[in-house]
Amino acid sequence: MNYLAKPVGMAFLTALMTLSACGGGGSSAPPPAAGGTSTTPPPTTTTPPETPTQLSSKPEVSSFLARASFGSSPQDQDQLLDTDATDWIKSEIAKSRTDYLSELKRRHENGEELENWEHTNVFWKALISSDDALRQRMVFALSQILVVSDNSINDTLTMAHYMDTLSQHAFGNYRDLLQDVTYTPAMARYLTYLRNKKGNAETGRTPDENYARELLQLFTIGLVELNMDGSPKTDSNGEAIEIFDNDDIVGLARVFTGLSLKGSGFWSADDDGHYSPLQSFSDKHSELEKSFLGTTINAGTGPDESITEALDHIFAHPNLAPFISKQLIQRFTASHPKPEYVARVATAFETGQFTAEDGSVFGSGQRGDLSATLAAILLDTSLFDEQAQSNQSGKIREPVLRFVHWAKAFNVSEIDPSNEWLLLYGSDSTKLSQQAFRSPSVFNFYRPGFIAPGTESGAAGLTAPEFQIVHEGATVGFANYMSLFIRDQSWRVDDNYNSFVPDYTDEIALADKPDELADHLNSLLLAERMSTTTRDRIISVLNEIPIREAEEDAAEDRLSRVHVAVTMAVTDPAFTIQL
């Protein structure tokens, strides 16, 4: 039995972690007055009726922000208390977006030689401190579907341009996103269609097929036909129905020929060519007809026209809505989403619109609208209804989500990722096991259909993608990694400069009262889902750390208690499970 997956799986599979962060249903009308009738009209009230998405307690706020962003600070929880999740989403969609490229571009144009990882610093900082939290979470989610890894691209401006492309379309339309992603130098370099030339029958050269294959397999429709609830359609023999074969890939690969960096020629590039949309060159583009997925683009069609026709046809495929919707659900709210949940979200994607419980309408009404899709994911009433939850509900939180939650919870200051070795090189299992835009392959850090062997979730047939990087070794690595940051002893590039400094003022004030400190961390980090066992252990361990009498010694001891308590809280299984 997998040691880690057993306790986490138990929390995931049983009702041990009761969904205390769930809201109740809508308000009912007041009962009629007893004792006959009265001509006096009932008193009126201006208080609007509570909707299922009302955030009426701090645990509810904490759970919602864990689903919709990267966790919360005490100030975030106070601000959202007694508000509606719908209003928060509307306000987030309306916010101006964080720009990743502009600062790096300015520094580059001023003559600074940028390190290859500078985009990583910009992104870490945005995740922790930017105002557009929902957009950042969506960019992170999209980066795990439309995967580009900087392991293969040693150009930080190219990566920042790609990050901006995801951000620009995070609440837009998926069709527009596909178009612009196709023209990014980052994707073209990663999936090797940059300067991809047309075939040559005499030499035997054929167009590169990488992007054509992954565009279908990973970015749009998948391998087999799907129902709207994400389940595979089957033929008369009960077998899944494959969508495409190699002939389709050969035909589609011809579409993505003739693209190069912005410049005066196919083999040249302007100074800004590495972070500008690609340019097409007709003489390098395949003039042959391009047949795939039951359609044919006529011979002689130019590169830009071919790309538009191809993406239009792929986008129209009925698989697109359930295929993308299910993966977005997995990145936000549920590792193993229920079919009916997938169907509801896929319907919002398909119709381009979602109506919340309070009547608020999200989306333009155009198929593929991501704001409608995202609202449908986050405002599904099953997430706010304890009775609707089951032992298969919830999501395993990947390490990046947990780290940023810690940083937000303790109002980390001096946020300078460039001074933190562990944020520059933290993707292996001895550290964080994950880093945005640094996946080991185009298949991301984990596959959406992964079922963990040797675990209770696996025995139940539940998909748990995150278990591919949340395992025994990674758990030890995460604990060590977090311990360094929690104790403000992370590995700095410049040891004379303290970056990522947590504020434990509130916690130190409770250090003399271990039970109150445990309860405080339970509320701040775990949405009051800490197990009695963990709480008792924290109290027991803290009581073994004496508080000495001398003022300086006492301050040191109180801080030690806080360090231990926070470490135990963020390594508790309840911190890994998001409900």
- Using the predicted structure, report yes or no on whether residue 391 has a pLDDT greater than 70: no
Ramachandran angles phi, psi of 492, nearest 5°? -90, 145
Residue 448, SS3 per DSSP:
coil
Residue 297, SS3 per DSSP:
strand
Half-sphere exposure of 105 (CA within 13 A, CB side): 15
Measured CA to CA in angstroms, residue 249 lies from 86, 215, 260, 298 at distances of: 42, 10, 21, 16
> Are 80 and 74 within 8 A, CB to CB?
no
Residue 483, SS3 per DSSP:
helix
Q: What residues pair up with 240 in beta bridges, in sequence order?
A: 234
> Are 498 and 427 within 8 A, CB to CB?
no
> Are 433 and 478 within 8 A, CB to CB?
yes
What is the 8-class DSSP label of residue 243?
A: -
Reported confidence tier of residue 118, pLDDT bands at 50, 70, 90: very high
The pLDDT tens digits for 247-281 are: 999 999 999 999 999 999 999 999 999 999 999 99
Cβ-based neighbours of 194, under 8 Å, separated by 6 or more: 185, 188, 259, 260, 261, 278
pTM: 0.91
The pLDDT tens digits for 171-225 are: 999 999 999 999 999 999 999 999 999 999 999 999 999 999 999 999 999 999 9
Predicted pLDDT of residue 430: 83
- Using the predicted structure, report yes or no on whether residue 299 has a pLDDT greater than 80: yes
Would you list the DSSP string of 501-551?
Answer: B---HHHHTTTT-HHHHHHHHHHHHHTT---HHHHHHHHHHHHTS---SSH
Predicted pLDDT of residue 414: 96
Structure tokens at 234: 């089957």
The mean pLDDT value for 46-54 works out to 73
Predicted pLDDT of residue 49: 60
- Using the predicted structure, report yes or no on whether residue 520 has a pLDDT greater than 80: yes
Predicted pLDDT of residue 427: 83
Query: Phi-psi category of 241—alpha, beta or left, where left has phi over 0 and alpha has psi -120 to 50?
Result: beta
| Alpha-helical runs (H) found in 297-389 | 303-315, 320-332, 339-351, 370-378
Q: Using CB atoms within 10 A of its CB, is residue 546 exposed (0-12), middle (13-18) or buried (19+)?
A: exposed
Least confident of 383-397, 493-507, 537-551: 383-397
Reported confidence tier of residue 471, pLDDT bands at 50, 70, 90: confident
Predicted pLDDT of residue 472: 82
